[in-house]
Amino acid sequence: LSPRGGRSSSYAYPFFEINRGDCGYLLAIGWSGQWRAMFERREQSFYVETGLETACFRLHPGERVRTTSVMLMPYADGRENAYNRFRRFVRDVLSTLGHGQVSAQLPLCMELWGGIADEEMERRIETVAEKGIRFDTLWIDAGWHGDRCEPCDDPATGGWWLTTGDWFVNPCLHPQNLRNIRDLAQEKGMKFLLWFETERARKTSHFYREHPDWFLTLPENEDALLDLSRDEVLDGITEILTAQIEAIGIDCFRQDFNLEPLPYWRAHDEDGRVGLHEIRHITNLYALWDRLCKRFPSLLIDNCASGGRRIDVETLKRSVPLFRSDYSCWRNANPNFLQAQNIGAQRFVPFTGCASRGKLDLYTARSSYSAGWLSAHWSLGYLTLTEEELHML
């Protein structure tokens, strides 16, 4: 078994159970890239082998690298007890939630598309507050960045995606650097979440044109992968993100990743050093998140990756998946499917979030209830809510 494309839970979930009656083992892989797991049933035993899918390298003098880790938990008192113990271990030992200055609870969020201009954002925040609807966090998603000035009311309009990589606030849409939106949210009792996609940039972005040497590229693809395998790139992106978190006042840093990195890593590996781009990228990703959490002790990191495609033991140590599947993007998402995702994901992961959008009814909303929850009913520019629908919220 392996994931697809270099993200650890894309088409494969790095959490496993070997069971016989009330006895068995829970096994989890700690690696946020392209792991491999092999299971073999033998006559009186079970053989398991995990590691990187492709790695064949020599190290130069003084070099050190790490690869995958494995968490193995035996049990002899039934599966439900085992799942509960595993989740408690994640909660009490692995996760940052509830430790230090980080909240123990995932937020109840209100989403606004980042391409909506200030005036309309302010109107919606004020309206929701006037109706007595309470949220913990204001969630600003993609579309807030770059310098394109055409209307951008939803993901399908405007050229906002061409500026992916330009992590500065769009002055046409948000002339006050989003600080006014953050302050209004705080006035209404909400923290502030902002979307980034740190590891990807379009070749049309200012960031890529200014630092082409910071990226790995493929000739046929207009997306460039930030080369986190290099320490100087890690230092540079850390400075950029730190400056924005401080300037805007971000409480929750949402890191998306809408790119399969594996072809980039493999295309740039040297002969005799296959796998090193992946290893260094992944370990420097951990270093980036560790640096941000050290600099901002109360910061919550939301790990997205196209909706839940990088959930594993290592990311659970540093982040939470507030949007565990992009299936929640669909306005006609089947609520029964959302329940099935809850059942599957939360056997092992106590902290996940889900969105509710589309029709406003109690069954659909309850089907997406999780440790964290996002109301996306009024998130896009063209959406409207009647007085009756606001009351239902």
Q: What is the pLDDT of residues 166-220, one digit of tens each?
A: 999 999 999 999 999 999 999 999 999 999 999 999 999 999 999 999 999 999 9
360 CA to centre of own chain: 26
Dump pLDDT digits (tens) for 53-69.
999 999 999 999 999 99
CA gap 39, 48 in Å, rounded: 5
What's the rounded mean pLDDT across residues 95-104? 93
281 pLDDT band, cuts 50/70/90, is very high
DSSP 303: E
Listing DSSP states for 47-92 in one string gives EEEEEESS-EE---TT------EEEEEEESS-HHHHHHHHHHHIII
Q: Could you give the 3-state DSSP secondary structure of residue 320?
A: strand
Phi-psi region of 15 (alpha: psi -120 to 50; beta: other; left: phi over 0): beta
The answer to whether residues 341 and 327 touch, using CB atoms and an 8 Å cutoff, is: yes
pTM score of the predicted model: 0.95
Q: What is the 3-state secondary structure (H, E, C) of 248-270?
A: HHCCEEEECCCCCCHHHHHHHCC
CA 182 to chain centre: 21
Please identify which residue in the block is written with the tokens 């033998």. Answer: 42
Q: Check pLDDT > 80 for residue 358.
A: no
Read off the pLDDT of each residue in 74-103 and give the average, rounded to a whole number: 95
Percent of the chain with pLDDT over 90: 87
Phi/psi at 105 (5° precision): -115, 145
